[in-house]
Structure 1
């Protein structure tokens, strides 16, 4: 810090002090970003290494024995996990770099909601889920990109099935007011502690201490979903009451 009683020098000293403070802030931000990048790469490396290790193990067994259909299916599933993780990583990289262009057109939310839940019809039936859909017959429209909205909803439904499945319930409903439309995806699983509410959308978030690892691995799915919602002028909001109900709400501009 620089101090002086001279008015001109005092102004100059104040400017220098502010520049020094800005420099310290920039250095601190850079270190935070650098640490975050290292952590993300470490998480992704771990999440890719695990299924690859399993694949290599199965391949070693298959080399010694004639493979059966079940073993081949496991190898295929693990390989699919690796591919999906890589796709998510590159999708997020493009979104954060501003290289993804989304449409801004009229989207019938009713249709997209029905399509998204139907994508999970088989697994919901197999697991015996109670499915509660409250979608109005009257068409409701939002401004955005249809494919992006479908991806957001599929991610939220998938999370509800995978991590809230012990409640055997999933709800999907639409609410709207003059300027906004709200799409609620609900489950009745273990819930998410309030202390984690602001962290679940963090791309580095793994949350090992709550909801039995509700958000696993690199956490890119919810990060991508919220990023897409924000690019359409909206957001995704989390509300959770552990062991009662967890709701992810997609908020979009009404058209």
Structure 2
């Protein structure tokens, strides 16, 4: 009788082992197929063994996460290619115009107005080159940030001081409303580029006056606003963030603003902040909500 029981146990163990091997073989075959085919298939198992089902579930979770990352990366690569195409076009256009006026200058037939157009077009090239530099900065910082404790109040004041002559030349009067001693854990290079870009937006579009408001609220969050008067009509702030427009009708003053603001938005997002735009009644406002950047982030 004991021998019969042992035989039955051995048979049950053998059957269980065979089923385990069959399920592992099925999972292995599924993975081999998934690795060599363009498919959204997942691994399957008919086993009722908890360990095998848990293994299959975790493999499928990894496959799904990998596919989401691949989709995100493919979309980012598409946007990068589109942005580089647009920037190449936008850099080529003012260079061509400046070259034509420079030829007139060489021939001695250029007047002051044409010289001003040369300068304006070369300034446009400078703006677009800064956009490329900012894009490279975003790419470099996408893996890790160089986080330090930064006196944001002092940083904003310093960038305003650096731009004072340029703002004065544009007859833009800036009112700083800066709370002293506001500190934040952030990447100082990226934060400087954010501030410089928003000051640069004043230089292109502000009329007469602008202001910057920096303060820390009771909940610990930091508010940084860049506002300016504008003589133009209120713009659709959603269109300002359409970073990769390609239609020729969109290649206007608003479009280049959108590219710069979109880059600012990317920089702010990399630092775990958020940006909101407002445009109404002759006022344009960029509102940044900031906090301490995390030590690491999931890409």
**So what's the TM-score if we normalise by structure 2?**
0.60
In the other structure, the counterpart of 2:87 is 44
Give the distance between the partners of 2:279 and 2:126, measured in 1 at CA: 31
Q: CA deviation at 1:36?
A: 5.5
The number of aligned residues is: 228
In the other structure, the counterpart of 2:272 is 233
In the other structure, the counterpart of 1:198 is 238
Match status 1:251 vs 2:289: yes
In the other structure, the counterpart of 2:20 is none
Give the distance between the partners of 1:72 and 1:154, measured in 2 at CA: 27
Where does 1:1-255 land on structure 2 (aligned, <5 Å)? 19=40, 40-65=83-108, 75=118, 78-79=121-122, 81-89=124-132, 91-93=134-136, 95-96=138-139, 101-137=144-180, 139-165=181-207, 168-177=208-217, 178-189=219-230, 190=232, 192-193=234-235, 196-205=236-245, 213=252, 215-217=254-256, 219-243=258-282, 245-253=283-291
What stretches of structure 2 of length at least 5 have no aligned partner?
1-38, 42-63, 65-70, 294-299
Counterpart secondary structure, 2:256: coil
Give the distance between the partners of 1:29 and 1:232, measured in 2 at CA: 19
Greater helix proportion:
2
Q: CA 1:68 to 1:184, structure 2 compared with 1: closer, same or farther past 3 Å?
A: same
Q: CA 1:116 to 1:208, structure 2 compared with 1: closer, same or farther past 3 Å?
A: farther
Counterpart secondary structure, 1:198: helix
* Cα offsets for 1:1-21 (capped at 9, x unmatched): xxxxxxxxxxxxxxxxx959x
Q: CA deviation at 1:185?
A: 0.6
Q: CA 1:64 to 1:191, structure 2 compared with 1: closer, same or farther past 3 Å?
A: closer
Q: CA 1:249 to 1:214, structure 2 compared with 1: closer, same or farther past 3 Å?
A: farther
Counterpart secondary structure, 1:202: coil
Relative contact order higher in (CA < 8 Å, ≥ 6 apart):
1
RMSD: 4.0
Conservation of the 8 A alpha-carbon contact between 1:203 and 1:223? yes
Give the distance between the partners of 2:202 and 2:247, measured in 1 at CA: 16
Runs of 4+ in 1 over 6 A off after TM superposition: 28-35, 66-74, 206-210
Q: CA deviation at 1:130?
A: 3.5
